[in-house]
Structure 1
Amino acid sequence: MLLGDAGVGKTLLLRDLQKPVLQRHGYFLISQCEEFGQDEPYACLVQALRDLIRQVLTESETQVARWRSRILTAVQGNGQILVDMMPEIGLVIGPQPPVRDLSTRETQNRFHWVMQSFIRVFATVDHPLVLAIDDLAWVDRASWNLIQQLTQSLDPLALLVLGSERTDRWKAFLDRQNQTAAVETIAIEGLDRAWITQWIVDSLRCDHGTAEPLGQLIFNRTQGNPFFAHQLLEFLHRQRLLRFNFDLGRWQWDLDMIHNRGITEDVIDLMVAKIRNLAPMAQSILKLAACIGSEFSLQDLEALCEGTGGLREGLQEAIQSGLLIPLLARSVEGWGRRSARDAQADQHFKFIHDRVRQATYSLMQDDERCSQHLKVGQHGLQQMLAQRQDDRLFTVVQQLNLGRALMQNPVQLLELAQLNFNAGRKAKRAAAYEPALKHFVTAQELLPEELRDADFLLKIDLELAECQYLCGQLTEAETTLQSLQDASQAPLIQAQIYALQMACCIHQNRYEEAIDLGQQGLTILGAQLPEVTEADRVLDALQNRLIGYEVDQLVGLPRAEHDRALQSQMQLLQYVAAAAITGDRARYQMAICQMVALSIQHGNTERSAYAYVAYGTILGAGLGNYSGGHRFGKAALQLSLQFNALQGITLFSYGGLLAHWKEPFDACENHLRDAFQHCYRMGDLLYALYTLALSTDVHLLSGLPLHQAQQEIDSFHDLAQQRQHASMLLDARVKQQFLLSLRGMTTEAASFSNAQVAEADLLAQLQRPSSPKNTLSRYFIYKAQSLYLCEQYDQALEMAQRSQALVHHHFGVVVAVEHYFYYALIPGGPLRQRWN
């Protein structure tokens, strides 16, 4: 991060780094974030990646073909996701097949994985990639999250991210994100008085003694800020306080007159004065451009100023005044084959500094700004409709939203509500849930009462509730969902509402409430969950139904992926199982049995793989039929491959809950390693953490040397800390302290205390009601083991007895075996002592 005050030269330094990067065969991409662009998901990254695509398109046909092959190989059939975000890439990779609809979480994971895979194609050791981002504090949240994933990736990546920002805005940005950032910072300071004086000497061709008083004055006013100093010197010249004496052949100034003039110390005031001195047409152009953005095209200006004379003259005046600078043409279509006239129409310009745009924007009253934004938005909408592409949807909607105060026509408001709804859905598909939420809220607000359509309002509210949940606004999501209970009597809509309510409850550990909601949702669909007392009967009925079936036959059952009622029922049952697994084994068992029975009756869905692997766990850990459970786990793996869904979760369940009953520990480690890589690659970092938690259990049991096991657990701890996952951090801490105890690196034998961690504080944290019971159980298991090894048998027995009350929380997990192993050994400890 290059940090410093506005105008100190951060942007210039950032752009000057391009040449040495290109000389070393690297790729240099630069992007500028804007305050008004924060609601456009991935705006920052897409702007930079589009430049990368343009670079590719300038290469030979042979090289473009190579890039096409590499990109398509990397994204594995998901090229349409890239085309939706950056239509230009279609010129490289060609038409792409549509991608399959997935659940919300899987959609997010897939999107992140595709974007990372695309960037990895270019960020190689031979051709490192530098991503330079100006005004980084205005970055949209989606881009920021993806940048963090890229820079904190466990896989090597030849990527350097450079950012520039004002020091105060960067600190405020990190405060808003409620986090720190692992960055190297370079402070860019203003010029000192000697440099300012030397600049005066070089600019005005005078001696040092003559320049020093003026240099002192400019330094005092600007604190050495180069941009401000330059503007101040220009202001003095415009006001004839600095003028060239042709008779004497030198520059002259009167310091007393300058002091008496009362010159402002705010660069914005200087810029406003400069703009007001321009001709009316030049001022109008700057105001319109300030509403378009920091960068704009001549083509847009001509369309928006149609019928207005003097456009090019006004534009030229703004350029000659040093307020705008021309850029290279940006169009990709027909690259290198345009006529001179077309190239001129495609000419782009930008403000020389964001302070110039800020000053121009401040000259307008609210009504004028509103009117300009509305004009820009309507022009953009016409273009979008004519081209039948929605690649500018976010920009158009943003402009229209800024101008909506002038919209009085209910039909216009309804159209804008629909546009916001479309933008919200597009943002949601791109896993940008916060911008999506804003668009759905705006759509809801815009819907005019006289044209309010119940079906459209229901669609908005359903999307709104899901985004509120995904953004962590659980109370708001539950309020929205509660208001929807009577909005539709359609069973599938009702089931969707119940599923979202269950997700909110599970997220807050309100498991009983989630199970009750699941039962209500199933009733709406014409199904029900039997009473708890019926759990064994349900299991027996399923086992009887499976008689005559080979487990492999289940994989070949018909696919029922288009049966929406079945999909809804399977989702509700899976959520019931998730809510019941740690505290209500009977309901967990019934939910899983019903999912398997539904799959046999109607055919397999994506969730059937989860049902089969969970049923395998019930057979193994619950009934002792380890061979049967193992076969169901294998079938689940095959099915997840067929559907190309839930592969990470299925591998996690198989490797962590089933495989250890029938396969060696090294095989379990391989399964869990594959599960971690799949989850991590797809962005499912929650299950990646769960996988590491079970992997470290296996490492501790498999005889891995202690220092190597410590490294694995430290990696687990680092990822949990990176993701700020409190429960997994606690789990990792318990394992770290246990290993340190075994290695003799704690304060005393069998103690879990060291200089960094007090065992009493750790135990107090574990015993809080909000802490997971399985982690508390792990502590007791490991503590009993440490005490046993140190021959403190009475205390070891007490720990084992406390673990016994909690061991059921480790259903299927190998650490439960460790508990029973030591629970059996501990009573024999005193006998061994007496024998010795």
Structure 2
Amino acid sequence: YSLIPDEEKQFTHLKIGQLLLQNTSELQQEERIFEIVSQLNRGILLIIQPTERQQLAQLNLNAGRKAKEATAYSAAIHYFYSGMQLLTINSWEIAYELTRSLYEEAAEAAFLNNEFEQMESLIQVVIEQTTTLLDRVKVYEVQLQAYQVRNQSFKALATGRELLAQLGVTLPESVTPPDIQQYVVNTLSTLAARSIEGLVDLPLMDDTKALVALRIMASIAPAIHQTAPYLFPIIACEEVNLSLKYGNAPLSAPGYADFGIVLNICNQIESGYEFGQLALMLVDRFKAKSVQSMTIFKVGALNQCNKQHIRTSISLLQESHTFGLETGDFFHVLASMIFKLFYVYLSGTEVLEILLADIKAYESNFAKNQRLLNWSNIVSQTIKNLTEYSDYPDSLIGEDCQEEELLSALLQEKDELTLHIFFLSKLTLSYLFENFPVAVENGNQGEQYLNGGAGMLSVTVFYYYDSLSRLAVYPTAEPSQQEQLLLKVGENQEKLQFRAKSAPMNFQHKFDLVEAERHRVLGEKIAAIELYDRAITLARENEYIQEEALSNELAAKFYLDWGKKNRPSLYARSLLLLRPLGR
């Protein structure tokens, strides 16, 4: 090769590429596309004929798509730009589909490669050169994903609302609980006599506007959940209504998952779970990689634990993470991992020091989204407070968190989800470190943000610790306050018991421990004894180690306060189990 004069090298590469192309069947072209295109691109300046240039542009498009599927995003961008270099000045007129595809694919590859300025400039070209929303929808999807990855959910919502209005779908500015109830009732009524499981066999959706609307709604659903949760039930109903009217498409799967979440929030647990399973069935039916991570995330994070052990949710979230990495769905890559780590923490399925190391391993990835980074920092600081010495054990103050600054920022951003995590962590720490009056206050403040965690396991954990905190202050409270404390515990217990009926493996031991504490403060010792024992047994059987430990500790304190000092084994077991908590 070194003996070939420089001026002849381009011709040599071009000739090799042409021979490879001529002697490779169409079936084999995909396998050898990189080899063929690499040779032809080296002779690109020698290609003059418009038809040949257009042919090579198409080959670069194919090579770029294959590189993008292999997550080789820099290489994909190179191929797409090489293809654009081959286009004529009037390519938008004479080779519209090819030109649009190159710009669309380049914009998506730039997004996946975190080259956001380049992405925006490519998107702008497509918007300027196309005339219909249908031709722009691909780049709008990319733009909406970029907004969410860059923590610009309000922009995502505003853009999505505008696009949906063009498609005849109106998202209201405000919604009341009766409005939501009516939307849900109307959607369920369209099922008529059909079973939820049977919806998997609906005909294929072929209405173009409906397909586009589904794509937009799927793209903005995460932003709605974070910044305008009152709209989430509305968009979930709209997604399902489109599928019921026009048939199923791959994007029907995340729509069914969203509706399942809404039904769970409305306490229709059985139907909500069935819609979640329908979503998973549809993903398998279509074999659509593009929606796998998104759909599995929704079911794992916000549905599965209402009927199955939390371990199944954690497994689904790991699946979502893996599929997201394979397809470049980076929003759900990050979302599934933070939910997985959070649920591992709440369920006590991993030693806290090991879990902290896992969180730290992903910290640089979470840094791409400030909301997820805040969430990660809150959990990290909570774990450190539980496992290391701290001058302020019940405060989120340390290397990972400065709670006053963080709280101020969260309130300014109206980030209800992270505020929910913040006050749950404060409530948990203040209770476990026996600062019970502060725990009650944290519960009072945290109650305002429970909507931010709608559908999450953490909401029931909040009720659990809130009730335990109120019962801890009950003996020293004024009689008038005691009545209010018991009233609030009763409200919490109604919600916990409802969940326990559907998923006793996750919630029954929590309900029983609170009941044991309630009977304790009321002096009903015999009832308390049975409930402590049952809470300990169920927590052990379902491998909630942290909550088994707490049940043992509270039972031991109950016996000691009663003067029954011949039950040391309970307390000894409690101390042993609590070692992972650092207490």
Q: Under a length normalisation based on structure 2, what TM-score does the superposition of the two structures give?
A: 0.69
The one-letter code of the counterpart of 1:437 is I
Displacement of 1:799: 3.2
Mapping for residues 352-367 of structure 1, pairs under 5 Å: none
Look up the match of 2:196.
Answer: 551
Q: Is the 1:633–1:654 Cα contact (8 Å) retained in structure 2?
A: yes
Look up the match of 2:460.
Answer: 817
Q: Is the 1:370–1:405 Cα contact (8 Å) retained in structure 2?
A: no
Q: Which has the larger radius of gyration?
A: 1
- Of 478, 484, 496, the match for 2:120: 478
Look up the match of 2:300.
Answer: 655
Look up the match of 1:420.
Answer: 60
Displacement of 1:580: 0.7
Look up the match of 1:731.
Answer: 375
Alpha-carbon distance in 1 for matches of 2:262, 2:143: 27
Q: Is the 2:258–2:298 Cα contact (8 Å) retained in structure 1?
A: yes
Look up the match of 1:287.
Answer: 3
- Of 14, 17, 38, the match for 1:377: 14
Displacement of 1:785: 2.1
Look up the match of 1:440.
Answer: 80
Q: Is the 1:796–1:826 Cα contact (8 Å) retained in structure 2?
A: yes
Which is richer in helix? 2
Alpha-carbon distance in 1 for matches of 2:168, 2:463: 39
Percent identical among aligned pairs is 21
Look up the match of 2:107.
Answer: 465
Alpha-carbon distance in 2 for matches of 1:521, 1:510: 17
Q: Is the 1:542–1:597 Cα contact (8 Å) retained in structure 2?
A: yes
Alpha-carbon distance in 2 for matches of 1:743, 1:387: 63
The one-letter code of the counterpart of 1:577 is A
Displacement of 1:596: 0.6
- 2:155 matched to 1:513? yes
Look up the match of 1:779.
Answer: 422
Q: Secondary structure at the match of 1:449?
A: coil
Q: Is the 1:659–1:668 Cα contact (8 Å) retained in structure 2?
A: yes
Look up the match of 1:640.
Answer: 283
Cα gap change, 1:406 to 1:394, in 2 (>3 Å): same
Q: Is the 2:394–2:433 Cα contact (8 Å) retained in structure 1?
A: yes
RMSD over aligned Cα atoms: 3.5
Q: Is the 2:145–2:331 Cα contact (8 Å) retained in structure 1?
A: no
Cα gap change, 1:749 to 1:832, in 2 (>3 Å): farther
Cα gap change, 1:426 to 1:669, in 2 (>3 Å): closer
Cα gap change, 1:369 to 1:636, in 2 (>3 Å): same
- 2:261 matched to 1:613? no
Alpha-carbon distance in 1 for matches of 2:213, 2:20: 44
Q: Is the 1:766–1:772 Cα contact (8 Å) retained in structure 2?
A: no
Displacement of 1:674: 4.1
Cα gap change, 1:701 to 1:460, in 2 (>3 Å): closer
Displacement of 1:813: 0.7
Task: Name structure 2 gaps, 5 residues minimum.
Answer: 479-560, 562-583
Alpha-carbon distance in 1 for matches of 2:333, 2:99: 37
Displacement of 1:396: 4.3
Look up the match of 2:354.
Answer: 711
Q: Is the 1:689–1:720 Cα contact (8 Å) retained in structure 2?
A: no
- Of 262, 268, 285, the match for 1:625: 268
Q: Is the 1:774–1:810 Cα contact (8 Å) retained in structure 2?
A: yes
Which is richer in strand? 1
Cα gap change, 1:745 to 1:771, in 2 (>3 Å): farther
Displacement of 1:579: 1.9
The one-letter code of the counterpart of 1:378 is K
Cα gap change, 1:763 to 1:385, in 2 (>3 Å): farther
Q: Is the 2:149–2:331 Cα contact (8 Å) retained in structure 1?
A: no
Alpha-carbon distance in 1 for matches of 2:171, 2:106: 33
Displacement of 1:633: 1.9
Q: Is the 1:751–1:759 Cα contact (8 Å) retained in structure 2?
A: no
Look up the match of 1:191.
Answer: none
Look up the match of 1:580.
Answer: 224
Cα gap change, 1:625 to 1:674, in 2 (>3 Å): closer
Cα gap change, 1:733 to 1:576, in 2 (>3 Å): closer
Mapping for residues 136-215 of structure 1, pairs under 5 Å: none
Q: For residues 148-186 of structure 1, give each alpha carbon's deviation from its aligned partner in whole angstroms, at most 9, with x where no partner exists.
A: xxxxxxxxxxxxxxxxxxxxxxxxxxxxxxxxxxxxxxx
Displacement of 1:373: 2.1
Alpha-carbon distance in 2 for matches of 1:751, 1:585: 28
Displacement of 1:380: 2.3
Alpha-carbon distance in 1 for matches of 2:125, 2:323: 38
Q: Secondary structure at the match of 1:638?
A: helix
Q: For residues 616-670 of structure 1, give each alpha carbon's deviation from its aligned partner in whole angstroms, at most 9, with x where no partner exists.
A: 111112x22223212222322332332234455444333332233344xxx2212
Displacement of 1:465: 2.2
Look up the match of 1:503.
Answer: 145
Cα gap change, 1:434 to 1:773, in 2 (>3 Å): farther
Q: Secondary structure at the match of 1:387?
A: coil
Alpha-carbon distance in 2 for matches of 1:778, 1:597: 33
Displacement of 1:765: 5.3
Q: Secondary structure at the match of 2:21?
A: helix
Alpha-carbon distance in 1 for matches of 2:147, 2:369: 18
Q: Is the 1:651–1:672 Cα contact (8 Å) retained in structure 2?
A: no
Q: Secondary structure at the match of 1:467?
A: helix
Cα gap change, 1:625 to 1:441, in 2 (>3 Å): same
Alpha-carbon distance in 2 for matches of 1:688, 1:429: 16
Q: Is the 2:356–2:383 Cα contact (8 Å) retained in structure 1?
A: no
Alpha-carbon distance in 2 for matches of 1:415, 1:628: 52
Look up the match of 1:494.
Answer: 136
Alpha-carbon distance in 1 for matches of 2:111, 2:365: 22
The one-letter code of the counterpart of 2:116 is L
The one-letter code of the counterpart of 1:557 is L
Look up the match of 1:142.
Answer: none
Look up the match of 1:350.
Answer: none
Q: Secondary structure at the match of 1:683?
A: helix
Task: Name structure 1 gaps, 5 residues minimum.
Answer: 1-284, 289-367
- 2:433 matched to 1:796? no
